A and B are shown apart, each in its own frame.
Chain A
Amino acid sequence: MSLARRIIPCLDTDGARVVKGVNFVGLRDAGDPAELAARYNAEGADELIVLDIAASRDRRPTFLETIRRVATELAIPLTAGGGIRSLEDARSVVRAGADKVAVNTAAVERPELISELSAEFGAQAVVLAIDAKLAKSAAAPHWDVRVRGGRDSAKLSAPLWAQRGVELGAGEILLTSMDRDGTQAGFDVSLTSAISRTVSVPVIASGGAKTPEHFAQVFSEGAADAALAASIFHDGVQSIRSLKQFLAAQGIEVRFPC
């Protein structure tokens, strides 16, 4: 099999600018989305994800303009997410140039949204984003789904919700470990493995990446189909090309742009 493992930079935006923070708080500016998109496209990113973490109604036109500017720079697939609550919201980001749409809180609140998006755009265009956090206090530890930027519990088990999302028509799972996000302590390999081996669709691991070893580990032990990171790429701590060279040397199949 020669399906390559994918490396996906993520642009968290406040609508207009790329921002970064730890555990979804303490945001600061990390650059222009279109400039970063052009750089990652040239460096060999396999896809790009743009998220509107503010997701406020009045900033929506700004975010759509950001998608348009980013899409113009890319010859690779683009996923857009953040604040997509309806079929009409999804249509607007697709019209702006997104190939896939990521849904999170709105899908938890109204799971039929997944089916509606899948019927309109096809399962390959519907990414179910799940923010998972280990709940240790419960009788049995489990991965709890978090919503509204991680603030609230959805009172759902992450593996069960992933499974349900796939049944409803999601074609991919974007799985973020809230425990690891922003820590640079490595991906949550056991969480990723638990979900990836449960569902029949590709899983993108997210949260905690710093070193090339972290990526190798989440692909091999975590069975991730793709891995996402933000700040290590934005800050130039890790170049995509050297990351891929490392992975290839480990026997992990990756794509090098020609």
Chain B
Amino acid sequence: MTVALIDYGAGNVPSVERALQKLGVTPRRVTRPDELACASAIVLPGVGHYAAIIRALDAQNLRRPLIESLSRGTPFLGICLGLQALYAASEEAPSLSGLGVLTGAVKSLPPTVKLPHMGWNRLRILSPSPVLEGISDADYFYFAHTFAAATTAETSVAACDYGEPFTAVLQRANVFATQFHPEKSGAAGARLLQNFLRLAA
């Protein structure tokens, strides 16, 4: 099993790497398009500004091969910005085009709550998903974001409520993503990563 960890300089690449290593998998840090083709699973971490992830994926020519891998059925896990990048656009950088794997735009959470949404919050599980096995509405996960994707019946498997409901975990076929940081979410986060790795094996 080769887990490709897309390395475009995002701050949480080392943390995700450490979290996977603790589960017995040493991912391969990927920076070039040709390295994606042979991956048995792909993890796209991210933290910070939407423009950073989109510009970096384009600068490293990773956009097209990544979309191709997803349509070939390679299990994919996007984390935080790695979830947001899947959409067509984001309010955070309106002039940029996202990967467009999912339709719609990522929007700011409402100013009625303190932003960023930072800290440990619970999920509202909407439908079963292999990555949510052993995880319940009682588990807490670590969030650190201001922008989020609205929930949809087709893709959202877990929501979180902060100011308004938003997509906390999504799945469409082989494509999974979390708005929270499983690599920073203690034992519950490790369980989700373990669930994902099982899909890749």
Chain A residues with CB under 8 Å of chain B are 1-4, 6, 41, 46, 71-72, 75-77, 94-95, 97, 99, 119-125, 171-172, 200-202, 225-226, 255, 257-258
A123 to B114, alpha carbons, bound, how many Å?
13
Shortest CB distance B168–A (Å): 11
Shortest CB distance A177–B (Å): 21
Q: Which of B18, B116, B190 contacts A124 (CB 8 A)?
A: B116
Chain B residues with CB under 8 Å of chain A are 11-12, 14-15, 18-19, 22, 47-49, 52, 111, 113-122, 139-140, 142, 144-146, 161-162, 181, 183-190
- Residue pair B140, A124 in contact (C-beta under 8 Å): no
Which residues of A sit under 8 angstroms from B183, Cβ to Cβ? 75
The 7 closest A-B pairs by CB, nearest first: A122-B48, A255-B140, A124-B144, A124-B116, A4-B120, A255-B120, A2-B122
- Residue pair B11, A200 in contact (C-beta under 8 Å): no
Q: Which of B120, B185, B190 contacts A3 (CB 8 A)?
A: B120
- Residue pair A76, B15 in contact (C-beta under 8 Å): no
**Given A1-B161, A124-B47: A75 touches B190 (CB 8 Å cut-off):** yes
Q: Which of B12, B14, B119, B122 contacts A226 (CB 8 A)?
A: B119
Which residues of B sit under 8 angstroms from A76, Cβ to Cβ? 142, 184-186
Which residues of B sit under 8 angstroms from A121, Cβ to Cβ? 11, 47-48
Q: Which of B14, B115, B181 contacts A200 (CB 8 A)?
A: B115
- Residue pair B114, A225 in contact (C-beta under 8 Å): yes
- Residue pair A46, B19 in contact (C-beta under 8 Å): no
Q: Which of B14, B18, B144, B145 contacts A77 (CB 8 A)?
A: B144
Q: Which of B14, B19, B118, B146 contacts A75 (CB 8 A)?
A: B19
A97 to B19, alpha carbons, bound, how many Å?
12
Which residues of B sit under 8 angstroms from A201, Cβ to Cβ? 114-116, 118
- The DSSP consensus for interface residues of chain B is mixed
A206 to B26, alpha carbons, bound, how many Å?
38
* Beyond known contacts A75-B189, A120-B48: 4 more, CB 8 A cutoff: A2-B122, A46-B120, A125-B11, A125-B144
- Residue pair A257, B118 in contact (C-beta under 8 Å): no
- Residue pair A171, B122 in contact (C-beta under 8 Å): no
Shortest CB distance B127–A (Å): 20
- Residue pair A99, B48 in contact (C-beta under 8 Å): no
Among residues of B, the one whose C-beta sits closest to the C-beta of A97 is B14
Which residues of B sit under 8 angstroms from A6, Cβ to Cβ? 119-120
**Given A124-B145, A258-B139: A3 touches B186 (CB 8 Å cut-off):** no
Which residues of B sit under 8 angstroms from A95, Cβ to Cβ? 14
- Residue pair B161, A2 in contact (C-beta under 8 Å): yes
A21 to B115, alpha carbons, bound, how many Å?
33
**Given A1-B162, A201-B115, A258-B187: A77 touches B11 (CB 8 Å cut-off):** no
Which residues of A sit under 8 angstroms from B187, Cβ to Cβ? 75, 257-258
A120 to B47, alpha carbons, bound, how many Å?
10
A258 to B120, alpha carbons, bound, how many Å?
13
Q: Which of B47, B115, B139, B142 contacts A125 (CB 8 A)?
A: B47
Which residues of A sit under 8 angstroms from B185, Cβ to Cβ? 75-76
